[in-house]
Amino acid sequence: MNQIEIREMKNFVVLTRFIIVCIFIRSNAIAQTSNTIDLQNNLSEAINSKEAKLAGITGIPLTFQCDGINGKQPISLAVGKIDKNSDAVNLPKDTIYQIGSSSKSFVAVVTLQMEAEGYFGQKGLDISIGELLHDKGLVESSVWNYRWNKITLRELLNHTSGIPDYTDDKFTEFSEMYLKYPYRQVYSNEIIKLMADEPIDFSAGKGWHYSNTGYVILSEIIANITKSSIKQQITSRVIDKLALTHTYYITNIESHEINPSQIKLLMSGYINDDQFKKFSLFKDNNNPVHSGVDIVPFSLSWANAAGSIISDTIDMNKYIQALFRDKAHGGLLESQQLAEMKSLVATESSEQYNSGAQLSNVDKKTATGFGLGYGLGIMAFFTRLPDGRSTMYYSHGGDTLGFHSNWIYMENTHASAVYVFNSNKPGYWKVRQNIESAILSKMMNECVVN
């Protein structure tokens, strides 16, 4: 996780609380109920705020759903424009955007499904990389590495592996390459080769550090075992399974890999000044990658399995609803694997837990670091209303070079919300704070507990 991601994540943990939401159903057949109107008003207020203008946000789509509102059906809205051009069209409700690290739960779903199917033997996710590759006759694989061989699949998923993150600011190779060759496809083995000789940050299971590298390694393990790419696995197991019509795993250029009729739905996302400011090439407006440029035409391959999915809020909401239901109730995972996904580790040390330790008790007293803790591709948080009520919810944000998105899920009311900004310029978190506080308040005050 780079320093921008870390700073914004911490801003969220400290400052999340207020309102905003966007709504409308893909069928376009929703009446303007009070539930729709208050969300629309909050969304309009957000897009017109000085904070949104300073951050360069041109539009915000959002989908909201819970028991007790709109007959349990999703509501979707969008405000603003699809890009910053003077002739920009109004933002469509099904605009497609880069979901960033929200992609991680898709990889987790594939891995957990494979565990249930017996791919990893009796040890399941607790099998080590070395043992798994040896058992499968894959010792010549690019992920065979003596530094990594004792690390388990679970530790890759919950960021307790100790493997450094290739997107950390100290690793400049990919930043420099992106600035020079933004259309070039980056392959998994390049990322793995770059990190292969880097020392481990801590012994596996003895700490926590967000590592995109772990998900790249995991995707290559899956590809080696199944003889098919992580893109194929995600597409068949999740995207096709749920009929997500606006969702794609991108291997290089978005516009080359989606339904041609949907190219017009691609929301522009704008790179901010902080991300490459130490590189002189970034300051050259004749260079393709420079401050304020739309990054969507460039390759998304640098994000790899850690963040290469694009979607719309409608599909993402449908996915989140399925993510937290077991297969017996129309979900994606068996009940055992669903419980594993929600099992949390501490992201920082506290009086109760060391960083990376399994959380045996989950309540507001255990909150450390980035919220309560990290599961398998998901995070957990507590929120408190002014009247003193509090509850836990699940979430995961996603930052790319031009987007910030987030999803929220509250189990007791099956409440979900998904939204995105087409800028992650420092300061956007103030807009996020207002939106999420409103979402959480609506979930706790208006949704019906089952």
In a domain, 298, yes or no: no
Which three-class secondary structure string do you get for 182-249?
CCCCCCHHHHHHHHCCCCCCCCCCCCCCCCHHHHHHHHHHHHHHHCCCHHHHHHHHHHCCCCCCCCEE
For the packed helices 188-195 and 173-180, what is the interaxial angle rounded to 10 degrees?
140
Asked if residue 359 belongs to a domain, the reply is: yes
Residue 229 burial (10 A CB sphere; 0-12, 13-18, 19+): middle
Residue 173 lies in a domain: no
- Element containing residue 281 per DSSP (H, E): none
Structure tokens at 319: 């996915």
Contact 73, 377 (CB under 8 A): no
Residue 357 lies in a domain: yes
Domain that holds residue 69: 7-92+311-446
Percent helix, strand, coil in the chain (nearest 5)?
40, 15, 45
- What pLDDT, on the 0 to 100 scale, is given for residue 23? 28
252, part of any domain: no
Distance from C-alpha of 173 to C-alpha of 279, rounded to nearest angstrom: 12
Gap between the terminal Cα atoms of the chain: 37
User: Is residue 378 assigned to a domain?
Assistant: yes
pLDDT tens digits, the chain, 450 residues: what are they?
Answer: 454 454 445 444 444 333 323 323 333 333 335 567 788 888 999 999 999 999 999 999 999 999 999 999 999 999 999 999 999 999 999 999 999 999 999 999 999 999 999 999 999 999 999 999 999 998 888 888 888 999 999 999 999 999 999 998 788 888 888 899 999 999 999 999 999 999 999 999 999 999 999 999 999 999 999 999 999 999 999 999 999 999 999 999 999 999 999 999 999 999 976 777 777 777 777 888 888 899 999 999 999 999 999 999 999 999 999 999 999 999 999 999 999 999 999 998 888 889 999 998 766 555 554 568 999 999 999 887 777 777 889 999 999 999 999 999 999 999 999 999 999 887 788 899 889 888 988 999 899 887
Burial (CB count <10 Å: 0-12, 13-18, 19+), residue 286: exposed
> How far apart, in whole angstroms, are the C-alpha atoms of residue 400 and residue 423?
9
Q: Is residue 130 part of a domain?
A: no
Tell me how far apart the alpha carbons of residues 164 and 168 are, in angstroms, rounded to a whole number.
Answer: 8
Count: domains in the chain: 1
Predicted TM-score of the model (pTM): 0.92
The pLDDT of residue 164 = 96
Q: Which of 9, 427, 420 is nearest to 209 (CA)?
A: 9
* Residue 164 within a domain: no
CA distances from 21 to 31, 90, 271 (A): 16, 17, 24
Residue labelled with tokens 């929600």: 342
pLDDT value of residue 34:
58
